[in-house]
Amino acid sequence: MSSNPLTALQASPSTHGQDGPTRVLIVDDSAVARALIARQIEPHERFRVIGAVTHVEAALTFLNDHAADIILLDVEMPGVDGITALPRLITAGRGARVIIVSASTPAGGAAAVQALAHGAADTLDKPRPQGLAEFGDILLQKLDGLAQSMDRPVQAAPAPVSPLGSRTRPAVQRSLPDIIGIGASTGGIHALAKLLAPIPATMTVPIVVTQHLPATFIPFFAAQLTAVAHRPCIMAQDRMRVRPGEILVAPGDAHVTFVRLTDGSAAIRLKHERARSGCLPSVDPMFASMAELWGERAWGIVLTGMGRDGLEGARMLKAAGGTIVAQDRDSAVVWGMPGAIVTDGLADLVMTPDAVGAMIAAGGSC
């Protein structure tokens, strides 16, 4: 394919949604990778590859004249790399979602997590000739999820109104719980960064996070949260005690559940079987176990993500008297997971991630 963004592929003049297919821009210095990615997309009429360029400056030039809905961005390129260029591409994309394409190596995992924390919507392992069928399935799943998130209906599903949404509402006072569980998927790392940033280091309620990520990404994810939250963030291990002030992160290949110890404290129990949601790790077992051990003294927070993971567990936590918080539609990259919570009538509060963090920082007052 040509590296000239204006001649590589013709740009679609249509807007996203009912007027035409979802428009995809590929940014990768490898001709082989560009060809392999385009070949997986082009047979599907709901998508259109509108450009395939070799470097960041070409992408920025292309975006000056053409609109893309999704940008597939390589991390390692000559000149300006994808991580450095990400803020400029997000601005130039005018709402386009960015999927980071990286090698399945420690360096690639660290770069991908860094990109997710700075606003990329999702990640994807670089294609390999011997694994094209699996790569194509994963790519299309991610493209479909992001495309659906852009098709926002005129009227949202009925939802509780966040008390922060109106200054005329009286303040709502909630005591902080004994534990906070957070579930997230696509767009979750950026949302988590916004949620955790306002919380002071003196807040002692333990936080447990289930984020859909490959297992190889989890150490970098934990390090990223440690930097943002200014408190220890540790990958959960079996039989590990739940300690005040710590953030525990589910490993990429196990669900986090809990057991009560004889001294009244709690410890982690990792489970590896597939949840009904099909996710591993899954938010559902975490919320269900929180309902059993803490009941009304637990908060379950559901952030941006594809699918409905967390819904079943939130039902159990809500039935046990726990508080359920869902991310609002406008701030979510994909409103699948929080939208399912809201549509089911489970959300006590619907808020932006930074508003949730501010509420926790205020001791439960909002």
pLDDT tens for each residue of 241-281:
999 999 999 999 999 999 999 999 999 999 998 888 889 99
Catalytic residue among 212, 277, 289, 328: 212
Measured CA angle at 234 (ends 355, 274), to 5 deg: 90
Q: What is the enclosing helix (H) or strand (E) of 39?
A: helix 31-41
Give which of 145, 128, 140 is closest to 40, Cα–Cα.
140
Total domains in the fold of the chain = 2
d(CA 89, CA 63): 8
Is 350 in the same domain as 223? yes
Catalytic residue among 28, 69, 284, 309: 309
Judged by average pLDDT, the poorest of 106-115, 257-266, 307-316 is 106-115
Do the domain assignments include residue 2?
Answer: no
Q: What is the enclosing helix (H) or strand (E) of 182?
A: strand 179-184
Do the domain assignments include residue 10?
Answer: no
Domain end residue (candidates: 129, 150, 171)? 150
d(CA 143, CA 346): 28
pLDDT surpasses 90 at 331? yes
Q: What is the CATH number of the domain that holds 250?
A: 3.40.50.180
Is 197 in the same domain as 130? no
Do the domain assignments include residue 157?
Answer: no
d(CA 255, CA 240): 14
User: DSSP label at 104?
Assistant: S
pLDDT tens-digit series, residues 158-183: 444 444 433 334 455 579 999 999 99
Do the domain assignments include residue 16?
Answer: no
Is 205 in the same domain as 327? yes
Q: What is the enclosing helix (H) or strand (E) of 98?
A: strand 97-102
Q: What is the enclosing helix (H) or strand (E) of 183?
A: strand 179-184
Q: What are the tokens at 27?
A: 């940014």
Is 206 in the same domain as 351? yes
Handedness of CA 311, 125, 251, 176 (dihedral sign): negative
Q: Which residues lie across from 350 on neighbouring strands?
A: 326
Is 176 in the same domain as 244? yes
| 309 labelled catalytic | yes
Catalytic residue among 12, 102, 149, 185: 185
Is 171 in the same domain as 99? no
Q: What is the mean pLDDT of the chain?
A: 87
| 55 labelled catalytic | no
Judged by average pLDDT, the poorest of 44-58, 132-146, 157-171, 343-357 is 157-171
pTM for this model (two decimals): 0.83
Q: What is the CATH number of the domain that holds 40?
A: 3.40.50.2300
Structural domain range at position 70 = 22-150
Decide if 231 contacts 197 (C-beta within 8 A): no
DSSP string over 186-217: TTHHHHHHHHHTTS-TT----EEEEE---GGG
Is 252 in the same domain as 349? yes
| 66 labelled catalytic | no
